Amino acid sequence: MLQTVALETRRGNAHECGALRQRVCIGDIRVDLTCDDPSIDVAVCQTTRQFLVDGGRADATVCTSRGDLRQPVAGIEIFDSGGLWKLYRDASDYVFRLKSPTFGEHAYKEARFTSDFTSGTLTLHADYCTPDEPVFPLEYPLDELLLTNLLARGRGVEVHACGVRDHDGRGYLFLGHSGAGKTTVAKLWEQADGLILSDDRIILRHLDGKIWMYGTPWHGEARLAAAIRTDLAGIFMLGRGASNDLLPMTQAEVVAGLFARSFVPFYDPAALAFTLQVLQRVAASAPCAHLRFVPDSSVVEFVRQNPL
């Protein structure tokens, strides 16, 4: 059984600071961006603007400031992404250090979160900041790192997929790794009056007794994103083919396929266990098949005429 988690905003704890500058809502998860420093112009990226909201109650708060990140991070390293970030555990806090050779030897950003990720502080290394430029505190990959951790604590899961609300209201989820055809499918459905929730990243949540898929600002090459949600009529694992074909899948194959295309905190066993529960529920909520497809408009009609 999925556990219901009480989502309480942690007002007044040690990580809370600053005036509210922006509030984003992605997958029905609200994150407040706060800042005490009047010289920091807190902004959001273009595709994230449609996810800005005014009302509601925050699920998490991130306070931004400038600082000095020349010192090594306190705590024990628990995960190395092999890329932009490493994760440390300092007492009960999670600390992400982001580093890039473009900027130099020091980290350009540090994000420190409470263990439930509802409250965090973000430090920008002052030497690498450009004055008078707006700052998006949750610039990639921090936006997805925060959301995937919040999701994995009782809320849902983010998957590597294109989500479509078709012209008749039916929701289709097309999962795939890079190169599988998510953007191709998104463009084809867009030309056929489908609404694209994202051509690369979809959030799945179990709410009100059913699975919802949510659009995210994290688009792919087609740059398609929409701040809406829809329910699921079909799940497809994408692959290229010489013709359009549907291949059946067992429940175990569906769950495994979903997991292989999910973004989860691999460093947190409880989060992984919860994610598997969600994916099991997703697999049971809608029919699923491998979709081998020809990259032209015929696949749209094929799916519409062959409901799972």
Question: Which chain residues interact with another protein by CB under 8 A?
Answer: 43-47, 79, 81-85, 98, 100, 102-103, 108-109, 124-125, 128-130, 133-136, 139-141, 144-145, 148, 160, 177-178, 182-183, 199-201, 218-223, 252-253, 256-257, 259-260, 262-264, 266
CA contacts within 13 A on the Cβ side of 99: 18
Output the smallest distance, CB 57 to another protein, in A. 27
Output the smallest distance, CB 221 to another protein, in A. 5
Output the smallest distance, CB 270 to another protein, in A. 18
Cβ neighbours around 55 below 10 Å, total: 7
Question: Where do the H-state alpha helices sit in 75-181?
Answer: 142-151
Q: Pick between residue 17 and residue 256 the one whose CB is nearest to another protein.
A: 256
Output the smallest distance, CB 220 to another protein, in A. 3
Rounded to a whole number, what is the largest CA-CA distance in the chain?
Answer: 60
Cβ–Cβ < 8 Å for 169, 175: no
Residue 83, CA distances (Å) to 112, 246, 272 in order: 18, 36, 21
Residue 307 CA to residue 294 CA, distance in Å, equals 18
Q: Pick between residue 260 and residue 284 the one whose CB is nearest to another protein.
A: 260
Cβ–Cβ < 8 Å for 106, 114: no
Q: Pick between residue 136 and residue 212 the one whose CB is nearest to another protein.
A: 136
Phi, psi of 232, deg, nearest 5: -105, 125
Q: Pick between residue 74 and residue 126 the one whose CB is nearest to another protein.
A: 126
Q: Pick between residue 60 and residue 222 the one whose CB is nearest to another protein.
A: 222
Which residue matches tokens 């599988």?
180
Contacting residues for 37 by C-beta, under 8 A, at least 6 apart: 18, 64, 65, 66
Q: Pick between residue 102 and residue 305 the one whose CB is nearest to another protein.
A: 102
Output the smallest distance, CB 178 to another protein, in A. 4
- C-alpha Rg value of the chain to the nearest Å: 20
Output the smallest distance, CB 20 to another protein, in A. 19
Q: Pick between residue 85 and residue 94 the one whose CB is nearest to another protein.
A: 85
Q: What sign does the dihedral 135-141-142-148 (CA atoms) show?
A: positive
Output the smallest distance, CB 142 to another protein, in A. 8
